[in-house]
Amino acid sequence: MFKRLLNIDPNSQQSYFLFGPRGTGKTSWLRYHFKDSLYFDLLKEDTYTYLLGDATRLDASIPEGYNKWIIIDEIQKIPALLDEVHRLIEGRKLRFILTGSSARKLKRSGVNLLAGRALIKHMHPVTAIEQANHFDIAKSLHTGHLPTALLTSQPSEYLKSYVATYLKEEVLHESLTRNIALFARFLETASFSQGETLNYTEIAREIGSSRHTVENFFTILEDLLISARLPVFTKRAKRDVVMAPKFYFFDVGVYKTIRPIGVLDSPEEIDGAALETICLQEFRACNDYYNLGYQFYYWRTRAQQEVDFILYGEHGLIAIEVKRKKKISRKDLKGLLTFKEDYPMVSCYLLYGGDEKQTLDGVTLLPISLALKDANLLLKSPADYAHN
């Protein structure tokens, strides 16, 4: 097992939600760190049916005087259980860890996530930091960072199965859309927008549907925690910026599995998006694990000046550009330097395919592998990344 950065204090009296896409290792991590817990797996048909019939059966299943952790896996399967969990936290002073790979049913049910009585944690694909000396960026760009994809001898087959599982179990089983074939076409079409600003109308035209349906499909992806849309950074904007969000699947291996490749596709186009993806997924993970509180944006003006990622929060303002090339010229800094003109307090970084850390015109140039293995070189974290 990888030594994960996720931290839940086993002695805490607080309850927790642990959200993360399927396959990121939530269940394995909890079973390892909370071995003596009472465990309810809602993916098991008998457990699901038993608790679905009457949520108060949860109370009857917990021994009197029990004072250890109670884990409910995939809580979104039965949102009504949250009311019972809330009652048990208040009445019996019990401690829960509730995992979820989808927020859609929880949001639709209008539940309030226990009214703040549970802290929210996130599990991400395995980071470069967690892989330590086993991290290999060439392998990562091919397989992504899902634990099984990293460990299996057949990562491509696993990832194909993973994507099919999401279509079958999450989208179809949860009745998120009645037209699974249309959603499958949408997934492929969306993959061409990886790292790009979204044009909902164009995608709707491509799949033969409406703009409203396409926007709903993107929301489904986000609710399943397998994608993110980055808004444009507009705070105190001095220039005319575009307003459409940028899109990313949560893991580079998942992206490359969904993305069709034909003879007209250039490796540069696909690899460029893949590099951006792996950088974003690493920074989002560190942001959550170390409780840094950054919000993620991108920046692009109508004049096509662009910065791939903007991180904004109480610890600072960070601008990050990602380039595949090994040699960087001043021309490659244009977007960063333009952004710095408007926001002089920003810390600017360019991640590139070279081997040396250097500074050019006030921009710190970092080899991509180095930046991913030591995110502290970029993220302004408090107290040496002290947990909590």
**pLDDT at position 91 over 80:** yes
pLDDT of residue 146: 97
The conformation of residue 231, written as its DSSP 8-state character, comes to P
The conformation of residue 246, written as its DSSP 8-state character, comes to E
Write down all domains in the chain, each with its CATH number in brackets: 15-122 (3.40.50.300), 128-232+246-266 (no CATH), 285-385 (3.40.1350)
CA distance 135 to 156: 18
pLDDT category, 25, cuts 50, 70, 90?
A: very high
In the numeric block, the tokens 């098991």 are attached to 44
pLDDT of residue 178: 73
**Exposure of 332 by Cβ count < 10 A (0-12 exposed, 13-18 middle, 19+ buried)?**
middle
pLDDT of residue 388: 35
CA distance 249 to 222: 9
CA distance 387 to 6: 9
In the chain, alpha helices (H): 26-33, 45-53, 57-60, 81-92, 104-108, 128-131, 137-143, 147-151, 155-165, 180-191, 200-207, 211-223, 252-258, 267-289, 334-342, 368-373
Length of the chain: 388
**How open is the CA angle 323-380-313, to the nearest 5 degrees?**
95
pLDDT category, 205, cuts 50, 70, 90?
A: very high
Q: Contact at 8 Å (CB) between 336 and 317?
A: no
Locate 210 and state its tokens. Answer: 């409406």
- Higher pLDDT: 98 or 377? It is 98
What's the mean per-residue pLDDT of the chain?
A: 90
Q: Contact at 8 Å (CB) between 125 and 36?
A: no
Q: Which of 319, 368, 378 is nearest to 140 (CA)?
A: 368
Region 336-364: mean pLDDT is 95
CA distance 195 to 258: 14
pLDDT of residue 263: 53
- Summarize pLDDT for 297-333 with one digit per residue, the tens: 999 999 989 999 999 998 899 999 999 999 999 999 9
pLDDT of residue 148: 96
pLDDT category, 377, cuts 50, 70, 90?
A: confident
- Summarize pLDDT for 244-296 with one digit per residue, the tens: 999 999 999 999 999 987 655 666 677 889 999 999 999 999 999 999 999 99
**pLDDT at position 23 over 80:** yes
pLDDT category, 383, cuts 50, 70, 90?
A: very low
Strand 227-230 vs strand 118-122: parallel, antiparallel, or unpaired? unpaired
Instruction: State which amino acid sits at residue 234.
Output: T
Q: DSSP labels for 333-388?
A: GHHHHHHHHH-TT-EEEEEESSS--EEETTEEEEEHHHHHH-GGGTS--SGGG---
**pLDDT at position 189 over 70:** yes
CA distance 202 to 193: 11
Percent of the chain with pLDDT over 70: 91
Percent of the chain with pLDDT over 90: 77
- Summarize pLDDT for 105-125 with one digit per residue, the tens: 776 655 566 767 789 999 999
